[in-house]
Each structure stands twice: as structure tokens, then as C-alpha cells.
Structure 1
Amino acid sequence: MIPFKIIRKFISRIDPIAIHPEKEKVNIYRFRMEIPDTWDEYYVSSVHVREDNKYRWEGRALNYLEIYLKKENDIQTSLPFTVKDLKPYISTIDRISVCDSQTLCYENYGSIEYVGEEYGNMYVYGFGPRLIDWWDKKHNCLEIISMLEIMVSKEPREDMKVE
């Protein structure tokens, strides 16, 4: 599993985050910098994007990142990690956008299961919830929906080198 103290560096700085430690109450933070070091001893079990209609901004539901944590480390993940390493922790019900950090070109997918093999060995540069234009083929219209955006790179981030 990926330690939360490492994942923390990849979380978007500007998006709200809900931390769900196993067997404890949910903790909500407005920004990454508000997350206390308390969770650094935990490991990430899954990552989701949620919309909360209770809270609205400019007529849209609030989008936030949900991270579920476990105390035990079942599987060790090497660092720096790739999309292939992160994939097992991403919710299969969330739509995904994969963005190349060098070109800023992106591709949208209906689920992490459909993210192509070409991204498997690319390094994760960061991730967070995003509102994205999505063409709904069934209704033949453009929608704005919540997705988990994963920024990728051919080279790992300098601050992710293992010491």
C-alpha cells in the first residue's frame, strides 16, 4: 500500500479532502495544507471523487477527494510510483481524466479500468477532483461532470526520490 505521508504530496493543493480512517470518524479539510501529520502513520486503501449537493458554489455541487485509510500495510508499493501502482486504489465507479504534465493533453475514461496500458509505466505527478466536459453519447449532449484527474509524467517528480 502507499503510505499517506507520500500520497499527501500528490493531492491537489486547492481541493477539499475527506479523510476516512478505518474505524474512526470522517475528517474534512478545505485544503491539503490543513491535513495534520496524524494521518502519516496510515496507508491509503482507496481514493474516490465525490459531489456533495449540500454545499454549492456558483450553482454547482462541491467536488472533493475522499481518501480511505488503513492502519496496516498489506502490500508495499515502491516509490516513486506509477499509474500501474496507483490503479488498484482508485474507485472503479469514478470517471477518470489522465493528463500528461508535459503537454497538458488529456484523455477521459468512464472508469480506471479503461485507462490504457500506455499510461501504466508513467509516473504519477499529482491528482485531484476536477469538473470536466464529458460528451454523453447516450443523450448526445455535453455535460460538465466530476472526475478524478491524474497528472502523469515520463519522469518522476524530483521531490519523490527515495532517500
Structure 2
Amino acid sequence: MKMVVRMITGLALVLVLGGCVTGQQRGWVTASVRGANYTEDYIYDVSIQTTDGKRVGLGIARVNEFSRGGTSGSECCAFIPAVGQTIKVVWQVGGRQQDKSQWRTYSRDVVVTGAMPKKKDAYNILIVRFFQEHQLEAELIPDRGEAGGTASPRVDKLYSGQRAMRQKGE
């Protein structure tokens, strides 16, 4: 009986340690983040968090107004909740010449949509899209960086220099 208990304990220990070796939590994925702004708000700062407010290590600085291209830079990379999981997005909106004390902060919980990567070492992008009335969506676009591959049609046209308005859910 002691031997069976030891075997079960040993197996449990191997499974737990094996999960640590991968460095990735179940239900999470590695991704970079970009913003796409379909409003005339200047979005100064964006933080990606878990629903309980813990930062995941990704954010966006300075998402331009739609009339100025509507894009941000890209920040790489962190483990984030995967497709079907909920994230909290916190962002600050203010005028370019406005004092920071006048900026407004918004926060929304949003379910990550999109698809999971097929490859373990895929280059994935989380695109956070900002819409009128402070609505947003977050879409995971997997396997974006395959050598010789083409850009995913899900990447917003704003990133190729086209000013194409998009509506929530498209």
C-alpha cells in the first residue's frame, strides 16, 4: 500500500513540476499587443490586466486618433489570458495638449475572441480595438509572424495605411 501511495505522490509531483517547466499557465498564451482606434479620442495609455486587476505585463502607449491613423506601436510579449478568457482593459483618454489631470480613465472587462495558435512558438498578436462610447474588443490573431507567410486578414487595415472604419464585431 505504501508503494502505491509513493507512486501516486511521485506521479503527482512530476505532473506539477512538468507544468512549471513549460512556463505557461493553462488557458494563457504568449502575445504582443497593438491598439486600433476607431474614435477621435487620443488614447494615452492602455493596461492589460486580469479581471482581478493584476497587470499581465503588456500595455500600449499612445494610440492615435482615427483621423491620425488610429494605430499604436506594438509591445512584445507576455502571457495573457487566451481566447474565451476575460481580460480587463484600463485606458486613459485625453487631449494632446491637455493637462494630465484632465484625462479620463476607463475600464472594461472583455472576453478575448479570435483563435488559438497552432504552433507552440507562434508570434501572436492581441489587437485591442477602441470604438465609440468607450466600447472595445480584444482579438487574438495567431501565428502572425510565420516566415514567408501572409498577414492575417484579421489585422486591421489601419496597419497597412488604409483608413477603413470598422464596427464592433466585424
TM-score, structure 1 normalization: 0.30
TM-score, structure 2 normalization: 0.29
Q: Whose radius of gyration is greater, 1 or 2?
A: 2
- The structure with the greater share of residues assigned to strand is 1
